[in-house]
Structure 1
């Protein structure tokens, strides 16, 4: 009788739930965060049971692989220069200088937040590619114009320069608003020129944000996939497209894995460098009472005209792809393939086809199913982990947190290759199942790469909760699970829903990881849109891809409004 009573006490105390959660977390970390990545190292350097430098020798004898490494580092270094110039300029004209129509300019510069990745690159190719609108216009004006001009290093640099200024628009704009206007006024009263104030007062305050953004830019350049793959041509391929090429053959997977490891090592070194810079820096305003930032007028008329012209030229570059994608999505295949516009060719047939044909709607259903499932699963997983980290402080929780942040240190290509190499044969750790070639593996990958961001956000939300609420619930006799469900979760719900929406939005048109792991019978939107950029793609495929892009932009805009717009109101 006493034994039965003890069993009941354990069951109703909830300890068994904690035990199951602990076993599940250990299994998940080992099976999907540790084993695949360690197994990649084993398959490369210990393929025959003993350590070997053969993969490095193969890499050094592969001209394609070495050139891809060189191209990646050249692109990364170039982006640091070009994106910082453009990014700082657009932040200055929207937040620092008094520019006419700055609100309209801001909307144009924010377009990269609603479309990016494969959608953005396909849009630029639709405009500047061999059959692009601008290319055809230039060819009509200048008959000898080279229609293949938008390929190679300069094309990739151009696309990515205007594609990755989102961090400047978000983070640098926020940092600009925190500048104490009193310091600017004091510098003016001391006779400092506007250029001197900008160079010695404003930019130094933005230095921490600029350093962080610069590191992220370099990492983005190293891991670039869509732009080099679509507009890079045969002469300019970077690491990730080369990894994809090597991974398609079993005999060259070791080369793909080695390139991915080099990419991962570079990422780890740069993140460590950024961490040290953050720890060594001290950028605190000495003003006790900060005054609100006021926009500065450009007194020099010629300079004022030049800044306005450049600002609106950049506005056109940002807005043109979005505008033309939306316009041409309402035209027939003739207008799309010939890059012409006529009222007679406007139609709703493309949109009707999407919603009336199962084959056209299928990529949307696949992408939304993957994105929604991954977003829900990762939120549930990280809520559990964040709760443990918030409630307990011990060695286990420290190790747990570091393990859950592993995907932040690794490029997506390395994570994908780890899953492919590790689970292409039955493994005991997953009950002797095979994941490679199934639709499960992409869902698992989506969950893995979303863990760090989701955990950081939800952990921060947990630490805003007053502990007295939980203590009061316990004193009233509420159980652990009941307290979490009825007291804590309602407080966390706004942050949880915001993260859920961002995660759902993040993988709708993902290509970089999807291309390694997708099932051929379940092609997501990223793959379909990429296929529409091929030279042999038909007009119907291109038309449907434009419709996909437009609806993705609408979904992204709605998501951003629900997360940020309503919050600001």
Structure 2
């Protein structure tokens, strides 16, 4: 046993030992200890177990309503998001709809327009002073101008904000269907509806289970839409957690709500995985023929399908178009909700690039997002390398440990850091994180670890082992082999992961609102503040400029990740 240990130590060297110790510290100090410390702190007072917090939770009417509302929203979204998401994929991939490629551009808009930016955009379009509401008031002067608030408004926004997973994953699933099975069903006299229900839909079930899990978790974790559009009558768990966390009296209730949210997420994942494993799905042939779009032979149904496809496109496209136009409008036009195309101006864009106060939140978000994106890729690269090369069972601790954030809502992670490192702790070298700029950066890194690790770990499978063996046989060190042989092969994946992480963190709000330093306010809280009725007209004008710039950056990031790949494939063909 000692012999084997000595061989292992000689093989990995001092550098490998330091890297393993560093990763273990990350897992314990950042992923495990803060959450365990918060949970024990809830139920233990001066070293004695106490259930007082449970009584406190049940006595809080607002907290109990938020729990119920979160589950109502999550269950409702399973129905609405799946219906809309399936329709979008059918219109673009399965049915012969005219202009499908154009429609898909609108349907994919949520990839570059989401979170707090999307919620505030919908509020300015459909809210009490929005352009759609002002238009409706001309035809229905007696209607309530605050009609777009509460449960219905939140569900509407969340439904159309969360279909990107369907567009991405269900599209691939439909393209993977063997068209010969559809042709065989047609030859046997099956109707189009029967073919869809018996052939197409069963092939989509595994993917539908996966996106349903993501949809339910998204509904439970919803923050931006309930916060911006829920009003006093419909608040979900995360906005209430955010409010309670700001008060020392109710911070323990916020922590317990976050724990309940985390437990619900884990239980849901377990249940849905069991259903997925026990499901019976049809098998398809190994040699597939490319699926062909199906024509709708019934004229009435064909017209209805085209009409619905373009209505959905308008729902997606109108807010984006109006946000872009508002970004060129004067502050007075934005406040009045009246859009005059003859008075468009570049002054808002000049302000953001000439005023340090206006540009500061944008720059802070860029710096934090870029730093987190780079650091998390480095961290995931080291962990992936260790997991890939060391096949011992104990090494799985690194992989499973770094997947913990995938099971926890962002608010739970934020509260764990807040309640744990608000005083000196040996685990953090006696450093206090609260009130520093580092705590938000750490949280950004934590939430992106699972995705980064999974993507980068899978990229190691594409590395030809013979190249690495040849480098070793020539006496190359592990570091040299990593930098000169392996890194060039997996570099495209590293850049893709880095870009996507940077993209998603730019307008991050859920973690940011709890952890940001008052003197270093990023975009998320600034955009939320600009959506409030009390915000100044200049702040609202900047909101639209920020939104457009974020969409441009997101679009550029997606092009860098996917655009070059598509162009390369076309040249190769």
Aligned with 2:48: secondary structure?
coil
**Unaligned runs of at least 5 residues, structure 2:** 1-7, 568-573
Aligned residue for 1:514?
512
CA contact (8 A) 1:131 1:147 kept: yes
Aligned with 2:49: secondary structure?
coil
Structure 2 CA distance, aligned partners of 1:132 and 1:294? 42
CA contact (8 A) 1:335 1:345 kept: no
Structure 1 CA distance, aligned partners of 2:264 and 2:152? 24
Deviations 1:174-200 (A, max 9, x none): 101001100111111111110111111
Which of 27, 31, 40 is residue 29 of structure 1 equivalent to? 27
Per mean C-alpha deviation after superposition, the further-off stretch among 23-32 and 93-102 is 23-32
Which of 319, 322, 325 is residue 324 of structure 1 equivalent to? 322
Structure 2 CA distance, aligned partners of 1:341 and 1:439? 40
RMSD of the alignment, in Å? 1.5
Aligned residue for 1:266?
264
Aligned residue for 1:372?
370
Structure 1 CA distance, aligned partners of 2:400 and 2:193? 45
1:64-463 map, 5 Å: 64-283=62-281, 285-463=283-461
Structure 2 CA distance, aligned partners of 1:461 and 1:11? 26
- The alpha-carbon distance between structure 1 residues 309 and 38, as it changes in their structure 2 partners (threshold 3 A), is same
Residue 60 of structure 1 and its aligned partner are, at CA, apart by: 1.3
CA contact (8 A) 1:240 1:413 kept: yes
Residue 284 of structure 1 and its aligned partner are, at CA, apart by: 5.5
Aligned with 1:206: secondary structure?
helix
Structure 2 CA distance, aligned partners of 1:192 and 1:54? 62
**Unaligned runs of at least 5 residues, structure 1:** 1-9
CA contact (8 A) 2:527 2:543 kept: yes
Residue 40 of structure 1 and its aligned partner are, at CA, apart by: 0.8
Structure 2 CA distance, aligned partners of 1:136 and 1:404? 50
Deviations 1:368-392 (A, max 9, x none): 1000000010011111110000100
CA contact (8 A) 1:45 1:51 kept: yes
Aligned residue for 2:571?
none
Aligned with 2:89: secondary structure?
helix
Structure 1 CA distance, aligned partners of 2:215 and 2:453? 23
- The alpha-carbon distance between structure 1 residues 343 and 281, as it changes in their structure 2 partners (threshold 3 A), is closer
Aligned residue for 1:4?
none
Aligned with 2:423: secondary structure?
coil
Residue 282 of structure 1 and its aligned partner are, at CA, apart by: 4.9
CA contact (8 A) 1:180 1:285 kept: no
Residue 311 of structure 1 and its aligned partner are, at CA, apart by: 0.7
Count residues in correspondence.
Answer: 560
Structure 2 CA distance, aligned partners of 1:438 and 1:131? 38
Structure 2 CA distance, aligned partners of 1:464 and 1:14? 23
Per mean C-alpha deviation after superposition, the further-off stretch among 338-347 and 44-53 is 338-347
Regions of 4+ moved over 3 Å: 10-14, 281-284
Per mean C-alpha deviation after superposition, the further-off stretch among 73-82 and 427-436 is 427-436
Deviations 1:214-243 (A, max 9, x none): 111111111100000000000100000111
Structure 1 CA distance, aligned partners of 2:513 and 2:95? 43
Scaled by the length of structure 1, what TM-score is found?
A: 0.96
Scaled by the length of structure 2, what TM-score is found?
A: 0.96
Deviations 1:197-221 (A, max 9, x none): 1111110110111111111111111
Residue 103 of structure 1 and its aligned partner are, at CA, apart by: 0.7
Aligned residue for 2:16?
18
Residue 13 of structure 1 and its aligned partner are, at CA, apart by: 8.6
